[in-house]
Amino acid sequence: MNCKAYLKEKKAVIDGRLATLLQTEVPQFRGLYEAMNYSLLAGGKRLRPILLLAAVEALGKDSTPYLDLACALECIHSYSLIHDDLPAMDDDDLRRGKATNHVVYGEGTAILAGDGLLTFAFELMARQRHIDGEKLTRCIALFAAAAGPAGMVGGQAFDLAAEGQAVDLEGLQLLHQMKTGIIFRGAIDMAAILADADDASAKALSRYADNMGLTFQITDDILDVTGEAAVLGKPVGSDVKNHKATYVTVFSLEKARQMAAEAARNADEALAVFGDEAWFLRELVAYLLTRVQ
């Protein structure tokens, strides 16, 4: 199996489970649940949940018992996209090839759909009674911190404050580490807890996650300039429109490509302590460098 086949296989499993999670018998709540499912089931790469499963497998363990934890990560990611697209944030009208949530359901319902997905994610995590209680508590605390004001939400706040402002390399690294990279690292650090990784393996995976996340973010910045909306499933040029600090706007397109390649090399080197079980993680960073969506 190659990287693309693995991504497709895992995505199908995750999509199948996500489709069963958000149901209600209360008529008054059906509009909210419809809005939540609209964004959750709209597609996407499912990269964050796949990373959790793949990292568990890289540590030699079966990832099957952790499918719902992986789905909870996708709920959090989908919530962040709904809020990120809002008029008060990036004001985008296209996501995953579909009209954004607030365009379809209105701004108020979109906010509540995001709120619902975020809180449901932690309910879903807490339901996993088959997982050792101490491990589960650590995972929930870890990801709550990654998604909260000291992590992704803080990164989003910094992103808003930085619009139209000069941002140096240190600020840019902090911005994207908190806004995007910390969620990738959270997924992989959760896997290390679940699979009983030793200190050396856990540290290597964290280094991998940081550099893989950087590869993803720089490539995302590049695609905002060079990509096609029909392929990406979201608007291109929105970073420039919103005066966002990115690796392309702060440096240049060529420099950004060089930095992405360096981050990918660093991610690959971090996996030196692993054997063949980590093949997907190795192939993933090479795939990210050449992705078109």
Q: Which range marks the domain in which residue 62 is found? A: 3-291
pLDDT classification of 239: cutoffs 50, 70, 90: low
Average pLDDT over every residue of 138-165: 94
Average pLDDT over every residue of 25-48: 97
Domain with 192 in it: what CATH number? 1.10.600.10
Cα-Cα-Cα-Cα dihedral sign, residues 145, 156, 10, 201: negative
Ranges of H-type helices in 177-198: 182-194
Q: What is the pLDDT, as a whole number, of residue 243?
A: 67
Tell me the two tokens of residue 264: 């990918």
Q: How far apart, in whole angstroms, are the C-alpha atoms of residue 292 and residue 220?
A: 9
Give how many domains the chain has, as a whole number. 1
pLDDT per position as a tens digit, 175-234: 889 988 999 999 999 999 999 999 999 999 999 999 999 999 999 999 988 877 655 566
Beta bridge partners of 94: 99
Q: Which of 92, 53, 88 is nearest to 73 (CA)?
A: 53
State the Rg of the chain over Cα: 18
pTM: 0.92
Q: What is the pLDDT, as a whole number, of residue 241?
A: 59
